[in-house]
Amino acid sequence: MIVTMQSSVSVGANATNSNVVSTQRYERAPFAAKGSMFSTGSAAGLTAELNVGGNSVTPPTIVNANNRVPLIPDDFFTEFEALAGQLIQVTVANTTAGALTFFWKITLEEADVVVG
């Protein structure tokens, strides 16, 4: 099974959004999954950081400025693993003097988990 979340958010001048995935249906992984994140920004000046289950997957990383919804595979940001129930958190910071839009997409593909 594969599930997808996708949205966009405006981030104010010199502001940070602590979790753009908040309120999404799959904010917590519904199953053990291999995930992929894709992102773009409306202009240069955005950084994004992915955390899963309280662990940092990426440091704050520059977001490309394609000004459109992310295309697969063109706008690849990172891959990650999540256990069932783990929180997926994407923090976005705007380093400019004007509001910018962050476009994102996360796909979660059910993974086989071997215990023991």
CA distance 21 to 9: 10
In a domain, 69, yes or no: yes
**Pairwise CA distance, residues 62 & 71, whole Å:** 17
Distance, CA of 61 to CA of 92 (rounded, Å) = 9
pLDDT recorded at residue 64: 96
> What's the CATH number where 44 sits?
2.60.120.510
> Does the residue 16 lie in any domain?
yes
Query: With a cut of 70, which residues of the chain have pLDDT below it?
Result: 113-116
Task: Answer yes or no: is 116 within a domain.
Answer: no
At residue 116, the pLDDT reads 52
For the chain, what is the domain count?
1
pTM: 0.93
Of the candidates 90, 75, 79, the residue with the CA atom closest to the CA atom of residue 24: 90
Q: Answer whether residue 47 is part of any domain.
A: yes
pLDDT of 112 reads: 82
103 closest CA partner among 13, 17, 20, 12: 20
